[in-house]
Structure 1
Amino acid sequence: MKRARIAWAGAVHDAVEHDGALKLLTPAFRGRVVAFDEVVWLPPLVPTLRARTILALGLNYADHAKELEFKPPVEPLAFLKGEASLIGHRAFTVRPDGVQYMHYECELAVVIGRETRRVKKADALDFVAGYTVANDYAIRDYLENWYRPNLRVKNRDTCTPIGPWLVDAADVPDPMNLALRTTVNGKVTQQGHTRDMIFDVPTLIEYFSAFMTLMPGDLILTGTPDGVVDCQPGDVIVTEIDGIGALVNTIAEEQRAPDPDSGQ
């Protein structure tokens, strides 16, 4: 099942995909069908699956590590992100004024379904609620260390679109057998496959749960393959994973508040 969370008619609703449209699950509107372009798409996390911790992986594809002239890591290279960085499908991501290089990262995002502590790799997928697509933008101008990106690189408001769907884990038999691709203004710029992860999904869940408790709704962003390019205001970026969905995002210019001393 493909689940979504949307804003429509002045309220927030849970919905499911239904014949190329959205069927609402909100009791007062249950069964009402609305078109994709009638709604505002939100990160597809229901209240019981709200992201408390967002774990993101660096250099988890060997080809991307090579692209950046680094050796593949020998253990997961992880950093934390804040919930305020998340936005939904068809939303806008701000490119700060004056930066020279800002790029997308198409990633499989794992949504934890229940409390997860000291789980073995063989059982790890039993603790997954589902999967979604993430676009984990990076701003290279602010980069100090590829191995531990600082907050301004990876944790900016609007810089982590996710969605459009939360696809139930039962509908994804093998998360390590999914093709990824990115287009910029309709041109394919990135292609990869989850089988090429250095640390696969079960390994990551075992690794993190060995020293921290993962809670329902926590996210693991699993890294990106090679093929990143700079994105400018107005560019439309589509990050897509087979069987999971196509996440559309547009780059916007930074809008600054008027200077109070300027008279404007």
Structure 2
Amino acid sequence: MPEYRRILLDGAVTRVRRDGSTLVSPDGRTTGLDAIHLPPCEPTKIIAVHLNHRSRVAEFQARLPAAPTYFHKPTSALNAHGGAVVRPAGCRFLNYEGEVAIVIGRTARGITPAQAGAHIAGYTIANDFGLHDFRDTDAGSMLRVKGSDTLCPLGPGLVDDWDFRGKRIRTYVNGAVAQDGSTDEMTWDMHYLVADIARTITLNPGDVLLSGTPAHSRPVEPGDAVEVEVEGLGILTSHVVEGPVPVPAEYGAQPTASDEVVSTALGGDWEHRGTR
């Protein structure tokens, strides 16, 4: 399965092809996998489904709607393989969410699920980080919860000709397994999600759809290393840092630690409220 990455090569943004442990540019230059990575695509929009994996639904004892619901992450949230994810000073509940990202290859509007595959350029890995400290004020839009800067790592590469069925998704925190799921848990598959959004929203080449996360999203701390591994797509690595400047307290909604915030961040794990 061909895999393509976007990196900085001699100071220039370059699309390269992976050949084992080597990255090869169109003009034949080579570099290693430790190159400075960029997100593997340039979306005009990032759309994410709320609940989709059955294990996540069961964890929250939720009831799925008849059709998927979505939220939007601004492109300013984009981050790359090896990048730093910033938890603002004064915030406590920054959660990882490992998942598969769908990347659009051809303009899609008014298509069926059966046609959606022809409009997909390929797939990559996403970590749909959430800053749940703002859930009380942004629960509907999820704007600051999911859209704050650095909260959308994508990568390391874009893989085409990848069959999304039956693929394992694992998230590791400091080397320990934190999430362990499968794409077979998804209530709505990749083709359904693309066709559903494209009924009313034009999807452009490079646009990204995040397909949902398995159970056991939990908060991480500055200094933690988070890896998302998807079978056939590789491993996306991020590290968590603390922002040096607190969210201004003089105006706007403030981070909170309400029951809703804590229960969401800890997956309904009320027994351990107030802990990591």
TM-score normalized by structure 1? 0.88
Could you say which residue in structure 1 is the equivalent of 2:101? 109
Could you say which residue in structure 2 is the equivalent of 1:89? 81
Per-residue deviation, 1:245? 1.4
Could you say which residue in structure 2 is the equivalent of 1:9? 10
The one-letter amino acid paired with 1:9 is D
Provide the secondary structure at the position in 2 that maps to 1:256. Answer: strand
Contact 2:22 2:30 in 1 (8 A): yes
The one-letter amino acid paired with 1:36 is L
Q: CA RMSD in A?
A: 1.6
Provide the secondary structure at the position in 2 that maps to 1:247. Answer: strand
* Structure 1 Cα separation of the partners of residues 138 and 70 of structure 2: 11
Could you say which residue in structure 2 is the equivalent of 1:80? 72
Per-residue deviation, 1:54? 1.0
Q: Which ranges of structure 2 fall in alignment gaps of 5 or more residues?
A: 247-276
The one-letter amino acid paired with 1:18 is D
Per-residue deviation, 1:147? 6.9
Per-residue deviation, 1:150? 2.3
Per-residue deviation, 1:255? 2.0
Q: Deviations over 1:210-239 (max 9, x none)?
A: 112111111100010101121000100001
Could you say which residue in structure 1 is the equivalent of 2:198? 209
User: After the TM superposition, which residues 104-253 of structure 1 pair with which residues of structure 2 at under 5 Å, given as runs?
Assistant: 104-144=96-136, 148-168=140-160, 170=161, 172=162, 174-253=163-242
The one-letter amino acid paired with 1:13 is T
* Structure 2 Cα separation of the partners of residues 144 and 200 of structure 1: 30
TM-score normalized by structure 2? 0.85
After TM superposition, the structure 1 stretch with the greater mean CA deviation from structure 2, 67-76 or 211-220, is: 67-76
Q: Deviations over 1:151-176 (max 9, x none)?
A: 110001111100001001x2x1x213
Per-residue deviation, 1:256? 2.8
Per-residue deviation, 1:145? 7.9
Matched-pair identity in %? 36
* Structure 2 Cα separation of the partners of residues 213 and 111 of structure 1: 14
Q: Deviations over 1:142-201 (max 9, x none)?
A: 113897342110001111100001001x2x1x2132110000000001010111111111
Contact 1:58 1:147 in 2 (8 A): no
* Structure 1 Cα separation of the partners of residues 223 and 89 of structure 2: 14
Contact 2:89 2:245 in 1 (8 A): no
Per-residue deviation, 1:65? 2.2
Inter-CA distance 147–198: structure 2 relative to 1 (3 Å threshold): farther
Contact 2:88 2:245 in 1 (8 A): no
After TM superposition, the structure 1 stretch with the greater mean CA deviation from structure 2, 62-71 or 73-82, is: 62-71
Could you say which residue in structure 2 is the equivalent of 1:44? 40
Aligned counterpart for 2:32 among listed residues 22, 35, 57:
35
* Structure 2 Cα separation of the partners of residues 65 and 96 of structure 1: 29
Contact 1:111 1:130 in 2 (8 A): yes
The one-letter amino acid paired with 1:112 is I
Contact 1:113 1:216 in 2 (8 A): yes
Inter-CA distance 83–199: structure 2 relative to 1 (3 Å threshold): same
* Structure 2 Cα separation of the partners of residues 73 and 254 of structure 1: 37
* Structure 2 Cα separation of the partners of residues 100 and 68 of structure 1: 21
Contact 2:108 2:203 in 1 (8 A): yes
Provide the secondary structure at the position in 2 that maps to 1:65. Answer: helix
The one-letter amino acid paired with 1:44 is P
Contact 2:138 2:145 in 1 (8 A): no
* Structure 2 Cα separation of the partners of residues 16 and 200 of structure 1: 27
Q: Deviations over 1:27-85 (max 9, x none)?
A: xxx11111122x2100011xxxx201211011111221222332223211101111111
The one-letter amino acid paired with 2:39 is P
Contact 1:59 1:223 in 2 (8 A): yes
Residue-pair matches, total: 245
Q: Which ranges of structure 1 fall in alignment gaps of 5 or more residues?
A: 258-264
* Structure 1 Cα separation of the partners of residues 193 and 211 of structure 2: 8
* Structure 2 Cα separation of the partners of residues 69 and 92 of structure 1: 33
